[in-house]
Every structure is written in C-alpha cells, then in structure tokens.
C-alpha cells in the first residue's frame, strides 16, 4: 500500500501544479485534491465498509479520475464501465461483480437500479489524502475483457499487484517522470493501459492531457503534441499509422519518452516515428491485462536497438521480479530460438479470472522450480527467446486479437453475430488489416447476400463499438482445411485490397 501513500503525498506536494487538462480546461492538484476529498466523504457516508467493489462510469472529467483515487484511499476497488458501451453489457458486468453502488459524473445517470453517487454534486469538505489501512491482497480494480461465450471476463487486480508494477517501473533507470512533464492520456479508463497513464503522472506531480470522447483521436493527439508540447507519450502502435501522413509536420524535441503497447510495433514505422522525436527514448512495452499492464519492455533505438522478427520490434526482457517462460503444448520449457507460448510469473499476476474456474484451469499452470511450486499465466502469444536473452513476438496462438489496443475474442463477435442471425448461418469473424496497417474486423457469412442492417443493429446492442465489424463478405460455401476446419486463411483473401 506504499504507492497509495505516495499518491497522497504527491498530490499535496504539487498543489499549484496542473494535474489534468481536459478539453482545454486545466485543473490543478489542489482542484484534484478537493474533488478526491468530496467523493471520499460521500463514499464514507453512503457506502458500508464491507462493500469493496464499486462501479465507476468512465466519463472524461475531473470527478472520474478523482473517484479512482478516493476509492483507493478507502481501500476499495473500482469496476469501470464506458458510458458509450451498451447498457446491457455494463449491467452484466455489475451483476458479475455483485456491484451495488455506482459513482457517476453523468448529467443524468441511467443506473436506476443501483445506489448512485453523483460525483459532480457533492458538499465541500476538508482535504483528506491519508489512506485508510487495508491489506495488499484487497482488490484495486476489476477490468472486463472480451470473452468467448458472449460474456465479458473479469480480471481482478490487487493493491499488491499495482504496487509491484510501481516498484518495477521505479527500478528502471531509463524512465523517470518529473513534475514538469506533460503526459498524454489517450486511453479509455476501461482499458488497462489507462492505469499507467494516470498513475505515474500523479505519482510524479505531472500533468495529464486527455482526449475528449467525441474527438477524432489521432488528430487530437497530433494537436496536443504540437500545441501543448507534450513530453511523455504512451500510445498503441495503430495511432502512429494514422499519424503517418503528418510525420513531415511533426518535429517535437520536447518529447522525452514515448512508450508503445497493446499491439505489434513494426520496425519501418517505428524508425519513421523516431525521426519525428529527436530527443526521445522509445520503449516497446509488453504485458497483458492479467499481469497488471506491463510485464517488460524493449528499449528501441532506430540505429542501435532495432531488433525485430518478421518486421515486429522485440518485446525485450521482463521487469524486476517477473519471469518469462516459453513452453510447448505440454507446458514444458523449450530451448533458445524455439517458438512456443510465452508464460509469465511474478507478483504483478492476477490470482485468476473473476468467478471463472474453467478459464482459470486453461490459462494458469504451476511447475516446480528449485523445490517451489511457481504459478504461470499462459498469454496466448507465440514468442521465442534469442541468444542474447531478448524475447521476440511471433503471433497469437488463438483467435484473440487486438483492435484499437483492446483485446477482442473473435469467438464473442461470432457468438453475437450468429445469435442475431438466428443461428441460421455459419459466420466467421476475422482480424484484417487496412492500407494503414491497422487491424480491423471483418465478418464472413456463409449465405447468399442479404441486408445486414438488422443483424448489425442487434450486435450494436450487445457489444461496444470497437467490436463491431466494419467489413462484411458473403461466401456461398466456406473453404475447409484438410482436417475439416474452416480455412480462415482462405477467408482472409476475400478482404484483400484490389
């Protein structure tokens, strides 16, 4: 819980510094402290101490960020839901976590069946940033990612997990935020990368610059980099594909650090981007939600450190106290330069999926090491370790993909698509790549062509926008491999650019 004390101390120390820039409005750490304290008082007054899991509607405003810190100071976890995601899905998340209370800064809350704390309409109170004593194994947050059965799957992360992440980043001498830094926060708060893009700026008294929900994300980032002279960028690689046409206009000597994660970083565009940032250190981070955001990184440099496999930059080496292990299908360690599934172990690892023993038995295993049983998480990523000790990414071992940085189970899209079509058609979801090199979703339907408007209306009620396919193809008969499985490789050809 040491990092929560540090949060309070940092906020108090930097009262006169800007904490947030939201839609061109700046808020100081004093403003932030006042908002945190008002929400914290409301939590104490209205929520029983025994209630540890609280829903949070993730609007882009001061109160939403303050709510996270207020909950942490009270030893409670937040369960974030995006207000633009279908209500049915958000309610299902609250049902799975038995959430009774929701903190909501919306003008009008739609969560009528819950006890709602309206965080924008609270009584003034004294500033209180001293954390309540709680155990490290208590939950800090639960994030829900795409699931294979139509239900999202929850990843619970404890305060000890987050503290281990902070310790690991603190141990990296190449990365050190300071109070004068201006940091990009481009991520929706339901996405795990948001944790590092609000946590580390707060710990150092730096200012976060967010992206309005109705903005064109890549263009707004371009404006912030140029106009606000940002110094720290944390992005998914797909963003620089969209920024590529503007590279000739970007020369930003102010940027000190640029971190990537949430997708494959390709060597060619990394070099071009590096040319735009003459004084910047670039890090290619790797880590799943199940391992508290980051588990390790590769320090990219366009001349000295550009190790890659099939054009994808290496994911490097693990953090302090984290172990990487490459295994075969029997969970046996493979030799150097041999491709297998990357597995992770260490104090940042979740204890397991939320109330999902079947998935836990598939995704975790233990092995004996030096007389001790060590638990590992199977990432589903195919990698290999080279002779120099760096890990390189090869591809996915399953049909889970990254879309706009979000992890998506293709099986969930297929589930809802088939249900919406009354399960009359064979339907396959695929990740495909557009001319910019960004992953998009395609849907292949085994049928004569028909109007898909009703089908897509159904899917939009069941899934967030990033999971809705943007391309549809009709196929009279699906191609199959020699062993009888649908040949997805052949199906991809229907989406090839003419």
pLDDT along the chain (498 residues), means of 10: 95 98 97 98 97 98 98 98 93 96 96 96 95 96 82 93 97 93 96 96 98 90 95 92 89 96 89 96 96 97 93 95 96 96 98 95 95 96 96 84 83 87 83 86 93 94 93 89 70 80
Give the C-alpha separation, 59 to 69, whole Å: 15
Q: Name the domain boundary from 118, 135, 161.
A: 161
Strand partners, 323: 345
- Same domain for 28 and 97, yes or no, is yes
CA angle, residues 212, 218, 220, in degrees to nearest 5:
45
What predicted TM-score, i.e. pTM, was given to this entire model? 0.88
Q: Name the domain boundary from 369, 396, 423.
A: 396
- Same domain for 429 and 348, yes or no, is no
**413 in a structural domain:** yes
Q: What is the pLDDT of residue 94?
A: 97
**20 in a structural domain:** yes
Q: What is the pLDDT of residue 300?
A: 97
- Same domain for 385 and 471, yes or no, is no
**157 in a structural domain:** yes
**271 in a structural domain:** no
- 8 A C-beta contact, residue 59 and residue 83: yes
**47 in a structural domain:** yes
Q: Name the domain boundary from 396, 413, 444.
A: 396
Number of domains present in the structure of the chain: 3
Which residues span the domain enclosing 96?
A: 1-161
- Same domain for 45 and 127, yes or no, is yes
**314 in a structural domain:** no
Q: Which of 229, 227, 202 is nearest to 4 (CA)?
A: 202
Q: What is the pLDDT of residue 389?
A: 97
Tell me how far the alpha carbon of residue 487 is from its chain's centroid: 30
Give the C-alpha separation, 9 to 203, whole Å: 8
Q: What is the pLDDT of residue 148?
A: 65
Give the C-alpha separation, 411 to 169, whole Å: 35
Q: What is the pLDDT of residue 343?
A: 98
Q: What is the pLDDT of residue 497?
A: 59
- Same domain for 388 and 404, yes or no, is no
- Same domain for 348 and 457, yes or no, is no
- Same domain for 70 and 13, yes or no, is yes
- Same domain for 102 and 2, yes or no, is yes
Q: What is the pLDDT of residue 498?
A: 46
């Amino acid at each position: 819980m040491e990092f929560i004390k540090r949060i309070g101390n940092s906020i108090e120390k930097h009262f006169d510094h800007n904490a947030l820039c939201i839609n061109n409005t700046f808020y100081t750490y004093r403003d932030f402290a006042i908002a945190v304290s008002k929400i914290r008082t409301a939590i104490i007054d209205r929520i029983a101490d025994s209630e540890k899991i609280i829903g949070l509607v993730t609007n882009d405003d001061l109160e939403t960020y303050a709510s996270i810190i207020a909950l942490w100071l009270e030893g409670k976890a937040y369960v974030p839901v995006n207000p633009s995601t279908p209500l049915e899905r958000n309610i299902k998340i609250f049902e799975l976590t038995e959430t009774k209370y929701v903190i909501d800064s919306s003008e009008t809350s739609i969560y009528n069946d819950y006890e709602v704390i309206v965080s924008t309409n609270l009584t003034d109170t004294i500033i209180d940033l001293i954390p309540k004593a709680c155990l490290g194994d208590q939950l800090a947050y639960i994030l829900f990612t795409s699931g294979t059965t139509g239900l999202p799957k929850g990843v619970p992360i404890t305060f000890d997990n987050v503290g281990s992440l902070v310790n690991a980043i603190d141990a990296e001498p190449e990365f050190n935020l300071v109070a004068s830094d201006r940091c990009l926060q481009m991520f929706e708060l339901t996405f795990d990368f948001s944790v590092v893009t609000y946590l580390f700026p707060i710990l150092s008294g730096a200012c976060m610059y967010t992206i309005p929900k109705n903005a064109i994300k890549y263009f707004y980032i371009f404006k912030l980099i140029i106009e606000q002279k940002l110094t720290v960028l944390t992005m998914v690689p797909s963003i620089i594909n969209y920024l590529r046409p503007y590279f000739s206009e970007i020369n930003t000597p102010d940027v000190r650090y640029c971190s990537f994660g949430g997708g494959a970083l390709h060597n060619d565009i990394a070099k071009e981007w590096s040319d735009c940032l003459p004084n910047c250190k670039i890090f290619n981070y790797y880590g799943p939600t199940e391992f508290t955001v980051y588990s390790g990184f590769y320090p990219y440099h366009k001349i000295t450190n550009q190790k890659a496999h099939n054009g994808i930059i290496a994911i490097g080496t693990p953090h302090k106290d984290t172990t990487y292990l490459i295994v075969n299908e029997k969970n046996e360690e493979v030799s150097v330069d041999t491709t297998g599934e990357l597995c992770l172990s260490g104090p940042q690892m979740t204890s397991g999926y939320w109330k999902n023993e079947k998935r836990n038995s598939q995704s975790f295993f233990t092995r004996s090491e030096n007389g001790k049983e060590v638990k590992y998480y199977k990432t589903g990523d195919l990698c290999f370790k080279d002779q120099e000790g760096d890990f390189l990414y090869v591809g996915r071992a399953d049909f889970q993909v990254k879309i706009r940085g979000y992890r998506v189970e293709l099986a969930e899209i297929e589930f809802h698509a088939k249900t919406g079509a009354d399960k009359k058609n064979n339907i396959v979801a695929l990740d495909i790549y557009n001319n910019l090199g960004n992953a998009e979703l395609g849907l292949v339907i085994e049928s004569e062509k028909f109007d898909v408007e009703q089908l897509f209306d159904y899917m939009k009620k069941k899934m967030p926008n990033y999971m809705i396919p943007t391309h549809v193809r009709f196929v009279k008969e699906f191609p199959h491999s020699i062993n009888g499985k649908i040949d997805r490789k052949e199906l991809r050809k229907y989406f090839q650019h003419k």
